[in-house]
C-alpha cells in the first residue's frame, strides 16, 4: 500500500524528493512538508505544506500524525521530539543519528570512537582552552560552533593569536569546538545509502570545489587515483555501517597532501554534491533516498555519464526578484528551485553539464567557463 511521506524541510532538496516521490505513485501517495516559508519550493511541485519552524513541537507532531514515514532535507529538526514520535510513525534516518550529526563535536567524537579517520579536534569552553589547543595543534586552527552551522557559517579560521579574542566575541554564548586545520589537496564526497533492510550502496566519489565556503561545483567522478577512490568509498561504507537508520547521507571528506582521506562532515540527507545524479546516474540520489527509507532494493549507482554540477548562487551585490537564466544546449540541464527572491549566496538553482559526447572532463570545464556569464542571476526589469 502506498505511504504518505512527511519531510522536515521544503527547500530545494524537499522539492526534488517530492518530484522523485511523484514518479513512485505505487509506493508514495502523498508528500507533506514542514517548512516556515509559505509556498516553499516543495509546495510548488505538489507537496502539501505545514507552515511552521523546523523545531516546532506541535507541528512536528502534526506531521507525524498525518504521515506514515518522516524524513528530512535539513538537519534543523527537533531530534528529541522526533525520538518520542518513533512509535507514531517510521522516522529515517533515525532521530538518534540526527542528534549525533546535529552537534559537530558529538559527530566527530562518534566517528573517532568508531575508528573512522577525522582531523584532530577538541571541545572548547574557555579562552585558556583555546590557547592550549593552539599550542597543541598549531596555527591556523578552525574555531566552530557545534550546532546550527552550514555552508561555512559558524566557522572562523584563526591565523594568528591576535584573532583569538575577536573570534570568541563573534561566537559569544555558543557551544564551541576547534579542529586542526587540514592542508588538503582536494575536497571530495561520497553519496551513500543504507536501506531499512541493511543494504548499503555508494555512488562514485566526486570532487567538490568551494567558493566562500559554499559549494560552487561538483565534478563526477573525482579526478583521483583508484587507490584514493577506494579509501573514500571504504570510509563511507564503514560510516553507514555504524550509523543507525536508513536513507541517503552526504559524506564530505578531505584528501590530504600525503594522500590520507579524512571525514570533514556528514549530512543525514540528500546532498548538494549529489545533484549530478539527476542526469549522471541510473538512479538519482532522491530516488535512492526514497528506496532506502521504504525498504526497497537500492538502485544502480553506476555513473552513466561524466557530469559537472554547477551551482547558481545569488550575487553578493543584489537582493530581489530576478530573471531566470535561459540555456538551450542539449548536454546542459538547468534546474531552478522556484525561489522568488535572490539573496547573497543563496542557492537559486543548478545546472548539470553532461559529457554525452565523451569529450572528457577538461572540455566540460571549458564549457562551464563559457556558460558562467549566462548563469549569472540578474535583477528582474520592471515592465513599466
Domain(s) of CATH 3.30.470.20: residues in the chain: 184-379
State residue 381 phi and psi, 5-degree precision: -85, 135
Task: Name the strand (E) or helix (H) holding 70.
Answer: strand 69-72
d(CA 293, CA 42): 19
Q: Which residues are CB-neighbours of 173 under 8 A, at least 6 positions away?
A: none
Q: DSSP for 157-189?
A: EE-SGGGHHHHHHHTTTS-EEEEEPP-EEEEEE
pLDDT single digits (tens) 213-253: 899 999 999 999 999 999 999 999 999 999 988 999 999 99
Residue 293 bridge partners (DSSP) = none
- The tens digit of pLDDT for each residue in 258-317 reads 999 999 999 999 999 999 999 999 999 999 999 999 999 999 999 999 999 999 999 999
Kindly report, as residue ranges, where domains of CATH 3.40.50.20 are found in the chain.
Answer: 3-91
Question: What is the CATH number that goes with domain 3-91?
Answer: 3.40.50.20
Domain 184-379: give its CATH architecture: 2-Layer Sandwich (3.30)
Q: Measure the CA–CA gap between 53 and 226, rounded to whole angstroms.
A: 44
Determine what percent of the chain falls in helix, strand and coil, rounding each to the nearest 5: 30, 30, 40
CATH 3.30.1490.20, the chain: domain bounds: 120-180
Three-state secondary-structure class, residue 327: coil
d(CA 370, CA 107): 40
Residue tagged 526578484 (cell numbers): 321
Cα 323 from Cα 280, distance rounded (Å): 27
* pTM for this model (two decimals): 0.96
pLDDT of residue 384: 46
Whole-number Cα distances in Å, 354 to 216, 277, 310, 377 = 17, 11, 11, 22
* Rounded-to-integer distance, Cα 221 and Cα 207, Å: 7
What pLDDT, on a 0 to 100 scale, did the predictor assign at position 154? 87
Rounded to 5°, the CA angle 308-314-320 comes to 145
pLDDT block averages, 10 residues each, the chain of length 384: 97 98 97 97 98 97 98 94 95 96 96 98 96 97 88 85 94 95 96 98 98 94 98 98 94 96 97 98 98 98 98 95 96 97 96 97 97 95 59
CATH of domain 120-180: 3.30.1490.20
pLDDT recorded at residue 382: 62
**Using CB atoms within 10 A of its CB, is residue 246 exposed (0-12), middle (13-18) or buried (19+)?**
buried
Q: How far apart are the first and last CA of the chain?
A: 53
Which residues are CB-neighbours of 129 under 8 A, at least 6 positions away? 122, 123
Residue 261 phi, psi (nearest 5): -120, 120
Amino acid at each position: 500500500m502506498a505511504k504518505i511521506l512527511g519531510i522536515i524541510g521544503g527547500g530545494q532538496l524537499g522539492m526534488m524528493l517530492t518530484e522523485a516521490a511523484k514518479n513512485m505513485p505505487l509506493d508514495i501517495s502523498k508528500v507533506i512538508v514542514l517548512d516556515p516559508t509559505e509556498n516553499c519550493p516543495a509546495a510548488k511541485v505538489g507537496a502539501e505544506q505545514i507552515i511552521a519552524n523546523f523545531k516546532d513541537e506541535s507541528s512536528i507532531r502534526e506531521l507525524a500524525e498525518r504521515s506514515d514515514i518522516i524524513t528530512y532535507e535539513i538537519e534543523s529538526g527537533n531530534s528529541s521530539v522526533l525520538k518520542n514520535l518513533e512509535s507514531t510513525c517510521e522516522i529515517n534516518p533515525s532521530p538518534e543519528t540526527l542528534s549525533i550529526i546535529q552537534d559537530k563535536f558529538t559527530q566527530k567524537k562518534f566517528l573517532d570512537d568508531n575508528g573512522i579517520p577525522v582531523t584532530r579536534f577538541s571541545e572548547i569552553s574557555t579562552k585558556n582552552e583555546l590557547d592550549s589547543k593552539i599550542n597543541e595543534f598549531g596555527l591556523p586552527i578552525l574555531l566552530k560552533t557545534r550546532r546550527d552551522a552550514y555552508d561555512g557559517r559558524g566557522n572562523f579560521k584563526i591565523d594568528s593569536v591576535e584573532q583569538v579574542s575577536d573570534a570568541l566575541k563573534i561566537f559569544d554564548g555558543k557551544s564551541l569546538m576547534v579542529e586542526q586545520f587540514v592542508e588538503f589537496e582536494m575536497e571530495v564526497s561520497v553519496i551513500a545509502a543504507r536501506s531499512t533492510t541493511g543494504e548499503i550502496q555508494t555512488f562514485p566519489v566526486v570532487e567538490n570545489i568551494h567558493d566562500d565556503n559554499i559549494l560552487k561545483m561538483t565534478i563526477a567522478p573525482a579526478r583521483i587515483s583508484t587507490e584514493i577512490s577506494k579509501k573514500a568509498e571504504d570510509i563511507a561504507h564503514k560510516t553507514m555501517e555504524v550509523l543507525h537508520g536508513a536513507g541517503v547521507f552526504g559524506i564530505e571528506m578531505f584528501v590530504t597532501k600525503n594522500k590520507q582521506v579524512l571525514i570533514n562532515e556528514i549530512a543525514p540527507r540528500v546532498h548538494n554534491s549529489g545533484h549530478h545524479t539527476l542526469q549522471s546516474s541510473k538512479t538519482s540520489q532522491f530516488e535512492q533516498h526514497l528506496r532506502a527509507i521504504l525498504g526497497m532494493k537500492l538502485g544502480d549507482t553506476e555513473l552513466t555519464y561524466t557530469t559537472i554540477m554547477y551551482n547558481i548562487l545569488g550575487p553578493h551585490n543584489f537582493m530581489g526578484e530576478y530573471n531566470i537564466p535561459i540555456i538551450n544546449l542539449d548536454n546542459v540541464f538547468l534546474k531552478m528551485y522556484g525561489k522568488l527572491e535572490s539573496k547573497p549566496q543563496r542557492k537559486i538553482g543548478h545546472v548539470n553539464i553532461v559529457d554525452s559526447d565523451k569529450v572528457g572532463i577538461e572540455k566540460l570545464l571549458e564549457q562551464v567557463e563559457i556558460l558562467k556569464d549566462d548563469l549569472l542571476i540578474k535583477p528582474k526589469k520592471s515592465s513599466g
